[in-house]
Amino acid sequence: MITDGVISDMDAAKEAIVNAAKLPMSIIIVGVGDRDFQAMKELDGDDVRLSHRGVKAERDIVQFVEMRNHIGGAENQVVGQLHLNRDLLEEIPRQLVEYMRRRNIQPSKYVD
């Protein structure tokens, strides 16, 4: 998702993410502009596991990255884009493995 940081219904967003944390999915959020992204950081759940009405998300499925930290700074534009891509995809492998472990799903052997 691409956002400027405004969430019209934070309660509904939290509920949806807590429910989705049971599914084999990840959510990537890119923050654009100069707004306050504190709500996005809360949804990311890196520091504190996201919860809704006392129910904690089964796992962290959100990765939030602020575009302004990578693009348009002192870095070379190409390097900034590479760092943005790296940071956006950084948590996906861990999220996948955590989902599989929680469900005792073993990787199958590749057969040619």
Residue 31 one-letter amino acid: G
74: pLDDT strictly greater than 80: no
Count structural domains, the chain: 1
Give per-residue pLDDT as tens, 5-48: 888 899 999 999 999 999 999 999 999 998 889 999 999 988 88
CA distance 4 to 63: 15
In a domain, 86, yes or no: yes
In a domain, 112, yes or no: no
What number of other Cβ atoms are within 10 A of residue 44's Cβ? 21
When pLDDT is averaged across residues 90-101 and rounded to a whole number, the result is 94
**What pTM, to 2 d.p., does this model score?**
0.85
In a domain, 108, yes or no: no
- Which pLDDT value is given to residue 60? 94
Q: Which domain holds residue 95?
A: 2-102
In a domain, 73, yes or no: yes
66: pLDDT strictly greater than 70: yes
- Which pLDDT value is given to residue 26? 96
